[in-house]
Amino acid sequence: MSATKKPITGNIQPKDGKLYAVINLYVDGKRHPKWIDTGFKERNGKRQANLFLQAELAKRNSEREKSDSTILTNSDILFVDYLESWLPTKMTGSKPISVQTYQNYESLVKGRIHDYFSAEHGFMLSELQPDDIEDFYVSLYSDGLTSCTALHYHRVIYQALKHAVKKRILRYNILDSVEAPAESNYVADYYKADEAKELLLRVKGHKFYIPILLSTYYGFRRSEALGLRWSCVDFKAGTISVERKIIIEKENGHRVLRDTNQLKTLKSRRTLPLLDFVARELEEEKSRQESNRMLFGNSIRFHHEYDEHVCVDDLGRLIHPNMISSGFKHLLIKVGMRPIRYHDLRHTCATLLVTGKVPLFNIAQWLGHSNSQTTENFYAHFDVKAHDGTAVVIGNLLNSNGSAVRKDILQALAMSDQDRISDAFCQLDPFSQRKILDNLLEATA
């Protein structure tokens, strides 16, 4: 751990016969070199230019040491102690986080963050440097964690230090000088329409059938499907509403189920049309549950506390979230379907809507995304039809020399497959390449 910031560095670079002092400045973790004319020529001026550079670096480092102190208050605190005192503030204020999110933050802070930055290593809040955070990320990668996981840690630490700046404990947030770990490049799997239909046929009658139905048709999250109550299904008005969810929380060291009306985002609370097929399946399920209550309702093994919930088993027990996540994989194997995750049914719903040319804004509302940008980030690449016009234009240009356009080139253009487009272009003779480029320039002029 470094007690002070690394000194500002630089070097001498020639340009147009002159010598420049290039100062390495960093903004948001990215290098932004500043070029300063030393006033000396490239010929016979290197010694004087280096003296100029050293004087400039000494001046800048001295000024930063005087004015850029991290700490504002006289008191100091261990970094891990500050984080634990900051955590409770996330449950108050104008935008308190959910209990589940709080517990996720707590597990990060009291787990690997505490182990790495503990008192044993002596990381003080005022002495914390960007290098220390970056070294922490390296330790996560060394333990086999992904950049997506490291990003979760980054966001928690950033929020904590941002709070310290707001409360004038720190002068600035050192994470502004740390590049955030990369987002996950995970590509979700999904079922095509015929596969989704076949799935519903094969799992009909299984206790997972209703949550599978809801996630396939409506893109319900697991927590939303399990949290659905009969009062949220209006058969007369023909609507189905997402009002609650089932989550797993820690209570006295044990994991318990909690039914809450605190949804993931404001847009998660939504009312959608009740499709005729879904309505028939739900009516059949409701009749089945009423029959079970008549047959087994007096048994001590029957669970009446979930009478209002849609997704229950024959004894009235709420289907456990972990059971459906792990059991779904085994169910697919049992019925002979291609394995995907349960959450991929939500991706299946979204992908089918995109390929069906439903506008992304409408899909965002259907799925309960906070905004349509989220929908676009995940699913816009499935909209192959949107590239049909582009493929036709380029196809005509490629045909301009009288040769037939290869089918795989058009497919690559439609799919925006840059590697295939590049490979095909490189296989052309120089004359054909020049002809294509000329036509493209003419078309875009």
Statement to judge: residues 410 and 337 lie in one domain: no
Statement to judge: residues 269 and 333 lie in one domain: yes
223 in a structural domain: yes
3-state secondary structure 132-148: HHHHHHHHHHHCCCCHH
* Exposed/middle/buried for residue 20 (C-beta within 10 Å: 0-12, 13-18, 19+): buried
Percent of the chain with pLDDT over 70: 78
> In whole angstroms, what is the distance from residue 332 CA to residue 314 CA?
21
- For residues 56 and 21, the answer to whether their CB atoms sit within 8 Å is yes
* pLDDT at residue 353, as a whole number: 87
* pLDDT at residue 405, as a whole number: 42
* pLDDT at residue 69, as a whole number: 53
> In whole angstroms, what is the distance from residue 88 CA to residue 82 CA?
11
Element containing residue 328 per DSSP (H, E):
helix 321-335
Domain's final residue, options 147, 177, 207: 177
Token pair of 223 as six digits: 């927590």
> In whole angstroms, what is the distance from residue 405 CA to residue 393 CA?
12
- For residues 79 and 109, the answer to whether their CB atoms sit within 8 Å is no
Domain's final residue, options 118, 148, 177: 177
* pLDDT at residue 400, as a whole number: 43
Statement to judge: residues 98 and 61 lie in one domain: no
* pLDDT at residue 341, as a whole number: 93
5 in a structural domain: no
Q: Which residues pair with 35 in a beta bridge?
A: 22
Statement to judge: residues 35 and 59 lie in one domain: yes
Statement to judge: residues 199 and 300 lie in one domain: yes
Statement to judge: residues 142 and 213 lie in one domain: no
What CATH number is given to the structural domain containing 162? 1.10.150.130
- Domain carrying residue 147: 79-177
- For residues 319 and 228, the answer to whether their CB atoms sit within 8 Å is no
Statement to judge: residues 16 and 140 lie in one domain: no
Predicted confidence pLDDT, tens digits, the chain (445 residues): 444 467 788 899 998 889 999 998 876 667 788 899 999 988 888 888 888 988 888 888 777 665 555 555 545 788 999 999 999 999 887 788 888 888 889 999 999 999 998 866 678 888 888 888 998 999 998 898 888 899 999 999 999 999 998 888 888 898 988 889 987 666 678 899 999 999 999 999 999 999 999 999 999 999 999 999 999 999 999 999 999 999 888 777 778 888 888 887 788 899 999 999 999 999 999 999 999 988 888 888 888 989 999 999 989 899 999 999 899 999 999 999 999 999 999 999 988 888 888 888 888 889 988 776 666 666 655 555 555 555 555 555 555 443 444 455 556 666 666 777 677 666 666 666 666 666 666 655 5
Domain's final residue, options 288, 317, 343: 343
* pLDDT at residue 439, as a whole number: 63
Statement to judge: residues 252 and 167 lie in one domain: no
Which one, of 67, 105, 53, lies nearest residue 84 by Cα?
Answer: 105
Half-sphere exposure of residue 257: CA atoms within 13 angstroms, side-chain side: 16
Statement to judge: residues 295 and 411 lie in one domain: no
74 in a structural domain: no
Summarised one tens digit per residue, pLDDT across range 37-57 is 999 988 888 888 888 988 888
15 Rama sector, left if φ>0, alpha if ψ -120 to 50, beta otherwise = beta
| Residue 359: C-alpha distances to residues 187, 349, 386 (Å) | 21, 14, 11
Q: From the CB of residue 144, how many other CB atoms can be counted at a distance below 10 Å?
A: 7
Statement to judge: residues 59 and 169 lie in one domain: no
417 in a structural domain: yes
188 in a structural domain: no
> In whole angstroms, what is the distance from residue 347 CA to residue 310 CA?
22
What CATH number is given to the structural domain containing 198? 1.10.443.10
Statement to judge: residues 165 and 208 lie in one domain: no
358 in a structural domain: no
374 in a structural domain: no
Domain count, the chain: 4
73 in a structural domain: no
Statement to judge: residues 127 and 206 lie in one domain: no
Q: From the CB of residue 190, how many other CB atoms can be counted at a distance below 10 Å?
A: 20
Residues 6+ apart with CB under 8 A from 31: 24, 25
Which one, of 285, 287, 293, lies nearest residue 228 by Cα?
Answer: 285
